[in-house]
Amino acid sequence: MGRTFHDGDLGTMLAVFAHPDDEAYLAGGLMALAVDAGRRVVCVTATRGERGFPDDDPRSLAERAAVRTTEMQACLAELGVTEHVWLEYPDGACVEVEDEEAVGRVAALIEEVRPDTVVTFGPDGQTYHEDHIAVSRWTTWAVRRSPVPTRLLYAETTPEWVAEVSRFVPLEELMMTDDPPPTTPADELSVWFVCDDELAARKVRALRAQASQVEGLVAMTGVEAYIRLTRDEMFRDPTDADWST
């Protein structure tokens, strides 16, 4: 369908992701742009991300969840997103959640919000994280079943982007398996939005509000490279195979 640089107007948005910071990495610029344009944006997060800490972190899971909750609030405030829903599923255990229960909750949100666009992970979860994969499945099924006409977009990366990231970060630190990162060729993207300098800086401020997850990576890459690596937001439409899973 050709290389598509999109102006960022996705209408009313529903963003469905697994952990705090997923939304900012994959769609933070688009969400901020929509808010600035007066669009409704609703962000949904499946878990509080309480297991996203080193194993030797002395805090309880509840204390870790509280940290990430506060960080998420600061992140969304920077983006201007005022509507946020926690699904309250356990971090690292979305696979144990009954699909029908989770699909029903996402479907109810689609019915209430009536989004023009729903954004989520692709079926591979981008990093093969089981929580990501579950959220993609729930969202796909919810959109497929919903009577609300809406467009579903899967967050993607290109081979060129992965090659650039690998200059700064060992890929095995980002992936949940030994498989190579899933990518989509640039000319098969449906939406490729590039944040301008002002929006890229705002997006990075939002990401850095989630310091427990982000500051280690910023230290590894340097601020300028981190801005460059987070500037692009890339999506594809589902294929027939995606809809049939």
pLDDT at position 172 is: 82
As a whole number, the mean pLDDT across the chain is 95
Distance, in Å, from the CA atom of 154 to the CA atom of 184, rounded to the nearest integer, reads 11
**Residue 7 included in any domain:** no
Count of domains forming the chain: 1
Residues of the chain above pLDDT 90, percent: 90
**Residue 84 included in any domain:** yes
**Residue 225 included in any domain:** yes
**Residue 97 included in any domain:** yes
* Model pLDDT for residues 122-178, shown as the tens digit of each residue: 999 999 999 999 999 999 999 999 999 999 999 999 999 999 999 998 888 788 888
pLDDT at position 179 is: 86
Distance, in Å, from the CA atom of 136 to the CA atom of 121, rounded to the nearest integer, reads 5
DSSP H or E stretch at residue 47: strand 41-47
Q: Taking 70 as the threshold, does the pLDDT of residue 3 lie above it?
A: no
**Which three-class secondary structure state does DSSP give residue 84?**
strand
Distance, in Å, from the CA atom of 129 to the CA atom of 45, rounded to the nearest integer, reads 15
**Residue 163 included in any domain:** yes
pTM for the structure as a whole = 0.95
pLDDT at position 88 is: 98
Distance, in Å, from the CA atom of 123 to the CA atom of 21, rounded to the nearest integer, reads 19
Per-residue pLDDT band at 5 (split at 50, 70, 90): low
CATH code assigned at 196: 3.40.50.10320
Distance, in Å, from the CA atom of 101 to the CA atom of 99, rounded to the nearest integer, reads 5
pLDDT at position 178 is: 83
Per-residue pLDDT band at 2 (split at 50, 70, 90): very low
* Model pLDDT for residues 164-195, shown as the tens digit of each residue: 999 998 888 788 888 889 999 999 999 999 99
**Residue 8 included in any domain:** no
pLDDT at position 7 is: 82
Take residue 134 and report the two structure tokens written for it: 């579950």
Residue tagged 């801005």 (tokens) = 227
pLDDT at position 4 is: 56
**Residue 200 included in any domain:** yes
Residues 56-65 have a mean pLDDT of 95
Full residue range of the structural domain in which residue 94 is found: 13-244
**Residue 1 included in any domain:** no
Distance, in Å, from the CA atom of 103 to the CA atom of 177, rounded to the nearest integer, reads 26
Distance, in Å, from the CA atom of 241 to the CA atom of 135, rounded to the nearest integer, reads 17
For the chain, report the end-to-end CA distance as a whole number of angstroms: 23
pLDDT at position 159 is: 96
